[in-house]
Amino acid sequence: MTILQDGFGGYLTLILAGVLANEVWRLLGVVAGSRLDLDGQLFQWVRAVALALVAGLGSRMVLFPAGALADVPLTIRLVAFAGGIALYFLARRNLGIGVLGGGVLLLAAQLAWP
C-alpha cells in the first residue's frame, strides 16, 4: 500500500507540503545572514536564539518524545540522560562515549526493567 501516487503527483505533494515549506527558512536565512556582521550585537542575539532553540529541541525530545522512545518510562529516560552526561565528563569530555554510553544505558535499563 502506498499513501501517495507513485508518479509525479506524489512528488508534487511532497514538494508543496514539505520541501518548499522547509527550504523557505533557509533562503530567508541567506538573505538575513548576508546583512549580519560577525562582530555585531545583532549577530550575537541571533546566535543566542539559535542556541536556545537547538538546546530546547534536545530537552523536549527527552521529556516529550515521539515514537518508540515514548514507550520508555520517564525515569529511565532521565537516568540514562544524566548517565550519558556523567560518562561524557568522566571520559574527559569525550562526545562519542557520552552519546553511545547514554544510549547503551537506556537499552540496558529497558531490558533490566521491562
Q: Which of residues 17-46 bind another protein (CB under 8 A)?
A: 17-30, 32-34, 36-38, 41, 43-46
Q: How far apart are CA 44 and CA 37, in angstroms?
A: 9
C-alpha grid cell, residue 39? 562582530
Q: How far is CA 6 from CA 9, 20, 25, 27, in A?
A: 7, 20, 28, 29
Contact status, residue 94 vs residue 88, Cβ threshold 8 Å: yes
Q: Which residue from 9, 79, 92, 96 is in contact with another protein, where contact means CB under 8 A?
A: 96
Q: Mask of contacts with another protein, 62-81, x by CB under 8 A? A: xxxxxxxx-xx----x--xx
Q: Nearest approach, Cβ of 28 to another protein (angstroms)? A: 6
Q: Nearest approach, Cβ of 75 to another protein (angstroms)? A: 14
